[in-house]
Copies of this chain bind each other. A is one copy, B any other.
Amino acid sequence: MREVFIDGVGMTKFGKHLDRSLTDLMVEAANRALKDSSTPEIEAIFIGAQNPEEFTGEANLATNVADKLGLAGIPAYRVETASSSGASVLEMAFYAVASGRYNRVLVVAGEKMCHLPTSKVTKILAEVIEEYERNSGASMVALAAMVTQSYAHYAGLSKDHLEKILCKIAIKNHRNGALNPYAQFQKEIDEETYFNSRFISYPLRLYDCAPITDGAAALVLTSSRTDVKISGIGHGTDTIAVRHRVHLHHFNAARIAAREAYKMANRSPEDIQFAELHDAFTCFEIIGAEDMGIFEEGKGWKMVEKGITEIDGDLPINPSGGLKSRGHPVGASGLAQAVEIVWQMRGAVSKERQVKRNDIALLHSIGGMSNNNVVAIFEKPGTPMGKGFFFDRKIEDASKHKKDPIRVGEFGILDAYTILNVPPEGFPSPLVLGLVSVPSGHRVLARALNPITFKVGERVFVSKEEDTFYFVRPSTLEKAMLTLRRNLRKLKLSLKWRLR
């Protein structure tokens, strides 16, 4: 494979751009990247976007962007892998240059969402969720909340401890965003603000979730040597249904992508000096760092506590402010991460937000509920090789998931649950959803009959009514069964009496 380097980079400010089209935003980002390049000449355009058709009604986006850039004629393609589209389009462009087909290509990714009401945006975003889970009321935040709970359980974090860690991540990313002129949120937040914000889906608060954002990012890939090289890129998928996964507390797709990227770069996690990770939800930053092999499994939260992930820490994570604070135009985020990494490597950011070591960095982008992920490794050419390829995270065979069980009722273990305060249309609020493992080895997504709080790991009873699974605490169930038995006895007595 030919080596692939990055020439110019650029992006729009992330935030609300109500008066402009997605194409306009992409053209702005593209022109900035071209202006930042050694030459504006390019041979092809690669576009990334998750769902412009439904967000803005803009279809045929690749041609539209090429035409508005005054470049009609040259090849233009669009790549989509849900919320990792910005990273996947970088990957496709990488192969096109690595193959020798093109020497210089423009990569642009963007999304425009702010003009729509939140409920509509949530609905469009939820289309990437597996059908049954979506129809059960699971939104992205609800699934993320259950993953967060599962992680806390695995890592042995108490409810209070988990909250403190998540709060620290939110505060750090807001602090970083406040220093980034391209970030959507340029204000710091404190503990009080965090803890006063409402639960969107317990245990995730408003400040744990990336916002709705408009924006675009762009860069030029070239086969000619520059000061930044993409040395490795990897991609992995997972079962689209979260309930079909072996584990809930880490992401298999992330690990596959990381392994492939390290292998191509002949690097290991210990080579990484800073990273841009997909913190669509605060906890994903820790899970991501663990999946990348950067932090020990189940111990990533300690690095947050120690301040290691801060800009001036030993391993800065999301110096940009991350998706949380820079904003998350879904199809753009993966490429915006690359732009930030290049700026940090070139020392092109203000002194206050410059990471100390900037020779090798890692990007991790998540597609959907972590079922289409991309990892890329960037380095300055000539950076000394470390020990070579090494990656020890366990990877499961995701392909052999089990179908949903069909038994009428059985006991199981509650792997995770969430209280969703803003459920999709047609569902009661709050909606309590749980993932329950049953003895047959299956896991079901079930709805709590009563909106009460549970404990991860507790024993629950699951039953199915039509297509919906419900779960109850056995004590509740036993009470109900007792009542039922009592009623049956009364019925029998009354029948006996009548028959006499």
Contact = CB atoms under 8 A, between A and B. Distances in A.
A237 B88 CA distance: 22
Contacts of A77: 79, 81, 88, 91-92, 235
A439 to B, nearest CB: 24
Interface in A394-444: 397-401
A53 B127 CA distance: 8
A334 interface: no
A83 to B, nearest CB: 9
A256 interface: yes
Given A127-B59, A400-B70, A372 B99 contact: no
Contact of A239 (B44, B67, B234): B67
A367 interface: yes
A387 interface: no
A99 to B, nearest CB: 4
A82 interface: yes
A95 interface: yes
Contacts of A72: 237-240, 371, 398-399, 401
A63 B75 contact: no
A101 B92 contact: no
Contacts of A399: 70-73
A67 B234 CA distance: 18
A73 B400 CA distance: 10
A73 B240 contact: no
Interface in A66-112: 66-67, 70-82, 88, 91-92, 95-96, 98-101
A51 B62 contact: no
A236 interface: yes
A499 interface: no
Nearest to A88: B77
Contacts of A61: 80
A173 to B, nearest CB: 26
A368 interface: yes
B81 A79 contact: no
Contacts of A136: none
A1 B73 contact: no
Given A72-B401, A73-B397, A77-B92, 8 more contacts: A53-B54, A54-B54, A62-B80, A72-B398, A73-B252, A73-B256, A78-B81, A95-B101
Interface of A: 1-2, 44, 51, 53-54, 57-64, 66-67, 70-82, 88, 91-92, 95-96, 98-101, 127-129, 234-241, 252-253, 256, 260, 367-368, 371-372, 397-401
11 contacts: A2-B99, A63-B367, A63-B368, A67-B237, A67-B239, A70-B399, A72-B238, A72-B240, A73-B256, A78-B80, A95-B101
